[in-house]
Amino acid sequence: MKQLDPRAYQITVLAALLGVGLTQLRFEVTLVQVAVTFAAALATQVTGARLAGLRDIGLSSALISSLSLCLLLRTSALPFAVVAAVIAIGSKFVVRVRGKHVFNPTNLAIVLLLTTTTQVWVSPGQWGSPTFFTFFVACLGTVVVTRAARADVTFAYLAAHAGLLFARAFWLGDPLTIPFHRLENGALLLFAFFMISDPKTTPDSRAGRVIFACLVALGAYYVQNMLFRTNGPLWALAVFSPLVPFIDRVLPGPRYTWSQRRPLPEVSTNETLDLAPVGARRGALVH
């Protein structure tokens, strides 16, 4: 039987999470913002694909980014929802190295807007911390990342993150209920299972992915516990994503492709870096 495209799992799970958020958790996002985000993302995807001469428009990619933005990004001004969608989708066509887009689209859009305006925010506490919901998200996320062959980076990140939290608790003499409480966070699992695990922006080799996950976990810990800023994982992922092309050179591995669901032959390490828009590489896959 033909294997289902992993992106179909992602879309189904993210859509279900958004539905729960809108109907049960009362997310601070309106149906109008959801519609505007989807419209802007799909329009940007279609425009970019046509300009690049791609046969596969890649609507699945735009749907995943749209759902992720609706789950994470909050704004009281609809134009910023449009800008976020355009940045997320447009970055995949513009910022590329060796045929891969460098940044996770949703992550880049959110971080850029958090840096440049006070009209957007992320609400980690919107998910609450009920054990049943955390387990629900974790189970669904496991299915997604396993189908996408990136479970290793997810579990490496969670292990490193948990290790740092417990080490800090032991060092400060805090009760273990504190790190356990911080792990019971839907936003953390959403990041680990659906953002850092993006097959198109993580290192190609397993060793590279584990190193990358640990770097992001360390960066998130530093942001939250040394700089005392929120959304540490988002900032850390944006900072360390440009290292992925370097990690791929040092620790090469088979390139992941959605269309074949199996690795492509390794690209020669002598290939020069290509930061040109994807239009210069006609027919290349975008997501």
80: which 2 tokens?
């910023």
Asked if the structure places residue 269 within a domain, the reply is no
Asked if the structure places residue 266 within a domain, the reply is no
Same domain, 56 and 109: yes
Query: What residues of the chain score a pLDDT lower than 70?
Result: 1-4, 128-132, 134-135, 145-146, 148, 258-287
Asked if the structure places residue 257 within a domain, the reply is no
- Of 122, 155, 174, the one marking the end of a domain is 122
Asked if the structure places residue 142 within a domain, the reply is yes
CB 238 within 8 A of CB 108: yes
Q: In terms of residue numbers, what domain contains 69?
A: 29-122
Distances (CA, A) of 260 to 89, 164, 166, 245, 250: 22, 37, 40, 22, 25
- How do residues 247-277 score in pLDDT, each as one tens digit? 999 999 888 776 544 444 443 333 333 333 4
pLDDT of residue 149: 73
Asked if the structure places residue 194 within a domain, the reply is yes
Residue type, 205: S
Phi, psi of 56, rounded to the nearest 5 degrees: -95, 110
154: which 2 tokens?
């997810």
Which residues, in sequence order, are bridge partners of residue 97?
100
Q: How many CB atoms lie within 10 A of CB 242?
A: 12
Same domain, 137 and 244: yes
Asked if the structure places residue 8 within a domain, the reply is no
- How do residues 170-213 score in pLDDT, each as one tens digit? 999 999 999 988 888 878 888 998 899 888 899 999 999 999 99
- How far is residue 178's CA from residue 11's CA, in Å, rounded to a whole number? 33
Closest by CA position to 5, among listed 144, 100, 137, 104: 144
pLDDT of residue 266: 40
Same domain, 138 and 192: yes
Same domain, 76 and 92: yes
19: which 2 tokens?
């539905």
- How far is residue 85's CA from residue 110's CA, in Å, rounded to a whole number? 10
Asked if the structure places residue 265 within a domain, the reply is no
137-172: burial string, b at 16+ Cβ within 10 Å, e else = bbebbebbbebbbbbbbbbbbbebbbebbbeebeee
266: which 2 tokens?
């390794």
Same domain, 35 and 134: no
Domain count for the chain, please give it: 2
- Of 122, 145, 173, the one marking the end of a domain is 122
pTM: 0.83
Pairing relation of β-strands 100-101 and 96-97?
Answer: antiparallel
Rg for the chain, CA atoms, rounded:
18
Asked if the structure places residue 225 within a domain, the reply is yes
